[in-house]
Amino acid sequence: MTGDLQSWVGRKRIVADEMAAPLVRRMAALTDRADVSCARGAPVPNHWLCMLFDDAAPQAALGPDGHPATGDFLPPVPLPRRMLGGRRLDYRAPVRVGDDLTRETEIAAITPKVGRSGAMIFVMLRHTIGGPDGVVAVEEQDIAYLEPKRDAPAPREKPMEVPVAAWRDAFAPDPVMLFRYSALAFNGHRIHYDADYARDVEGYPALVVNGGVTTLFLLEAALRRAPGAAVRSYEARTMAPLFCGRTATLCGDGGTLWAEDEAGAMALRITARIR
């Protein structure tokens, strides 16, 4: 089956969007940023591009998990669960309120693997975002497709060594934060807002904190310590999920940022260039 999937590599799709003032206003509210203007032509933080280019699939085209069903643009991977395993972003030009933008997405690679939880298939998407003056950003995303949740817990891998943090912020994502982020990005993945589905179908103990939420607040925490700076590029890797209602901590030391779960284990790590 994975051999058949390789024919999907190279497929492309273009989506248009606008850095609209209402979106900027809502993101500023979500992140408690009173310093960001919504006036047309005002600069927007680079990393806020994450709220654009949703799939906006019709209701009839959604899968049981709330994501667009595979087999349209995304390949028909025969594994039911999905998560974002990592992403790499390089920002090349500023974005301003009112900018018309396009994103060309290419299926760059499809790679089967075997992990702690069983068979996995990684689909790498490469996004090229263009604006009025050329390329704004290039992003690569690694989407991991997983087997159904097992009754027995997966063997735990050796935890990544946690660095000594130069700063630490408490992080307590609640259902309202997760809902507002999902609504802003039009992300229908039910594990982030439907607690019954997350628990009974996918086997999680609580709502799963979207990795995009953790990434957003890690970058915001780093920027608070670097007035006037902007995120120029970053690479993020997800090691383990964070769960709603459980204490977490945002940490950093220079360009190395990470989130720790309630046990102090690293759940997400970012290497960022901020200046």
Query: 57-75 pLDDT, tens per residue?
Result: 899 999 999 988 888 899 9
Q: Give the Å distances, CA to CA, from 191 to 57, 60, 76.
A: 18, 19, 21
What is the reported pLDDT for 148? Answer: 87
For residue 116, the model assigns a pLDDT of 76
Instruction: Give all strands of the β-sheet with 100-115 in edge-to-edge order.
Output: 12-18, 100-115, 118-131, 134-146, 81-91, 231-238, 266-274, 256-260, 248-253, 167-171
Interval 117-128 mean pLDDT = 93
Residue 150: per-residue pLDDT? 67
Q: How far lies 37's CA from each of 24, 27, 52, 89, 193, in Å?
A: 8, 11, 18, 24, 29
| CATH architecture of structural domain 2-274 | Roll (3.10)
Q: Name the band, by pLDDT with cuts 50, 70 and 90, for residue 3.
A: low
Q: In a 10 Å sphere around its CB, with 0-12 CB exposed, 13-18 middle and 19+ buried, how is residue 33 labelled? A: middle
Residue 158: pLDDT band by 50, 70, 90 thresholds? low
| Strand 12-18 versus strand 266-274 pairing type | unpaired
Q: Please, what is the average pLDDT of the chain?
A: 93
What are the two backbone dihedrals, phi and then psi, of residue 185, each rounded to the nearest 5 degrees?
-90, 0
Q: What is the pLDDT of residues 219-262, one digit of tens each?
A: 999 999 999 999 999 999 999 999 999 999 999 999 999 999 99
